Amino acid sequence: MRQFLVLLAASYAGTAACAWWLSGFVPRFLLPDIPFLAIVFAGLFLHGPLGFFAAIPPALFREVSVSSPPWTFFISSMALYFASREIGMRFFLRAEYFILTVVVGLLLAESISVVVLMLLAGSRPFSFLWAAQEAVRIAWTGLLAVPLYMDLSGRWRRVKE
C-alpha cells in the first residue's frame, strides 16, 4: 500500500509541477513525463493488482493534462503499463542500460501509438519540429528514469528485507 501511495503522490506532484507550475517557463518537451515514469515503474517493479491500481491515477493525470482526443492518452498509458508489466515479468532488470533501453523503447512505442491514434481521430500531429521535440523528451525522460528507478527499487528491496 505504501508503494501505491508513493507513486500516486509522485505522479500527481510531477503532473502539477510540469503542467501547471512550469508550463509557462520551460517548454513542454524539456519537462520529464513523471506520470509516464510512474506507470512504467508500476509495470516493471510492482506485480499483481497493486501495480495495476497504481497505474490508473497517473494514466488519468496524463489524460487530463495533455490536449488530445478523448481517451487517447489513457488508453496508450494502460497499454504502456501492460507492455512494461510483460517486460518486467520476462526480464530481470537490475542493470542501468537495460532500464534505459526499456524506458526509451516504451517512450518511442508510445509516441508512435499516440501519433497513430491521433491520425485515426483526424488530426495531423506530425512535423519535423515535433519529431525533434519528441527525441529530446525521450532522451531526457529516459535518462531521468535510470537513477530514479534504481533508487526506488533499491529502497523498496531494503524495506522488504
- The domain spans of the chain are 2-160
Q: How far apart are CA 24 and CA 21, in angstroms?
A: 7
Q: What is the mean pLDDT of residues 24-46?
A: 81
Q: What is the mean pLDDT of residues 136-154?
A: 79
Residue 161, pLDDT score: 61
Share the mean pLDDT of the chain. Answer: 79
Residue 156, pLDDT score: 64
Of 120 and 86, the structure prediction assigns the larger pLDDT to 86
Residue 81, pLDDT score: 92
pLDDT at 9 over 70: yes
On whether the pTM is more than 0.75, the answer is yes
pLDDT at 92 over 70: no
Q: What is the Cβ-side half-sphere exposure of residue 69, based on CA atoms within 13 angstroms?
A: 15
CA-CA-CA-CA dihedral for 96, 66, 16, 86, to nearest 10:
-30
